[in-house]
Structure 1
Amino acid sequence: MVSKKLLKNMNIEELANKEIQLYDKVCSLNGTIEEKQNQIIALGISNEYNLIFQKYAELCVENIEALKRGLFISWFSFSEPTFLTGINELDKNAEENIVKEINVRIKNNSLDSELNWMIDYYKDWDYIFKEYYNYEHFKTKIMNKEETKLPKIEKQKMENRGQMGIYWSSLNQ
């Protein structure tokens, strides 16, 4: 179990490694859906994931990779069940900080192409972010229903990027 104090000193690569360790634990669990969910909570996996998420939110202004991972985790926590991801309830302040930073980047036209297509992909689940529609630029982007095509995702560019990298790599199989 990683402590908040230890996590504070982790860099982006160490956070990705910790995510993979947690994901491997989730994949190794046995039992029914309910039993797996209970094990995830009892083992502290979802709590550790929330701490990682909070760290990404803390880093997101200076580190666009942390921003991408934080947004992904926020989306993934709603789009996939806990027993598959280990991700449960996330810190709302951290989530809002991520959305706020994306709003600023949209306003300043400073999204990189990767974050841009990621947001376009998430917009099919726009209801997930409904509580953040007070961020005007974010709302406009997430509500834009123009057809966007997912680019060819290079697996090696998704390595060492936590569950986000695993997910995006799986779409090109």
Structure 2
Amino acid sequence: MKTEIDILSDREVEIWDYAESQNGTMDFVTEKLSAEGIFDQYRNIHKSYLELYFRIDDEAIKLEILKRLIFLNWYALVEPSCYTGIEDLDNATASESYSILDQYLIDGKIDSEFKWMLSFYSSWDYTILPFSENKLEALTAFVKGVDTSILSCPKNQLPKGVMDNRGQMGIYWISMSVEKKN
């Protein structure tokens, strides 16, 4: 039986598959996805992750949800929506997820995987700092403390399959060759 997080992951992949299958100019595809409600569906997935975070008690699943929320916050701002199906995520949801992340940083609750992910995202500081500066001190310090001249993700180091069934976050990291080839 699939869990709620698995269902959200499957919905993410379905939207990504659909967006990837579209043909035409970036503007044409963006307009089509918007008219078909694809971006609205993704906003709902994003919000659903946050709602699920608050409904469950399992700390490992909460951490995984937070990883996905932060990825989506970042990805929505760095990749064209015509390729991802993600556009104009809810700012309140993004802000809340960054507030949670700030507390995780204060409490030392992020794992090594989340640390390199967040370090990587921090290279695009404009995706995080507008949410954190003058509000979330630990997150702001983390982002500003990252040496962006160093590649932050592990190339061909993670066990094959570790990024499977993790929504667009998993698809992205597989495309970045973080998993071993065999």
* TM-score normalised according to structure 1 size: 0.89
Task: Name the structure 2 match of 1:144.
Answer: 145
How many pairs were matched up? Answer: 164
- Root-mean-square deviation over aligned CA pairs: 1.6
Q: Contact 1:13 / 1:160 at 8 angstroms: preserved in 2?
A: yes
Instruction: Confirm whether residue 169 of structure 1 aligns to residue 162 of structure 2.
Output: no
Written as runs of structure 1 = structure 2, the 5 A alignment for 1:24-103 is 24-60=17-53, 62=57, 63-103=62-102
Q: Work out whether residues 117 and 152 of structure 2, in 8 Å CA contact, stay in contact via their aligned partners in 1.
A: no
For the Cα contact (< 8 Å) 2:39–2:86, is it kept in 1?
yes
Aligned counterparts of 2:77 and 2:160: Cα–Cα separation in 1: 24
Distance 2:128 2:11 in 1: 26
Q: Deviations for 1:142-167, whole angstroms, at most 9, x for unmatched residues?
A: 11133464222334010111110000
Distance 1:70 1:137 in 2: 18
CA distance in 2, matches of 1:149, 1:139: 17
* Cα drift, residue 131 of structure 1: 1.7
One-letter amino acid of the counterpart of residue 141, structure 1: F
Show CA shifts across 1:85-104 (max 9, x none): 11000111100111011000
Q: Which amino acid in structure 2 is aligned with residue 171 of structure 1?
A: M
TM-superposition CA deviations, 1:67-123 (whole Å, max 9, x none) = 111100110001100111110001111001110110000000111111111101111
Q: Secondary structure at the match of 1:156?
A: coil
Identity %: 32
> Structure 1 residues 59 and 130, CA, compared in 2 at 3 Å: closer, same or farther?
same
Q: After the TM superposition, which residues 99-110 of structure 1 pair with which residues of structure 2 at under 5 Å, given as runs?
A: 99-110=98-109
In structure 2, do the counterparts of structure 1 residues 141 and 148 end up closer, same or farther at CA, with 3 Å as the change threshold?
farther
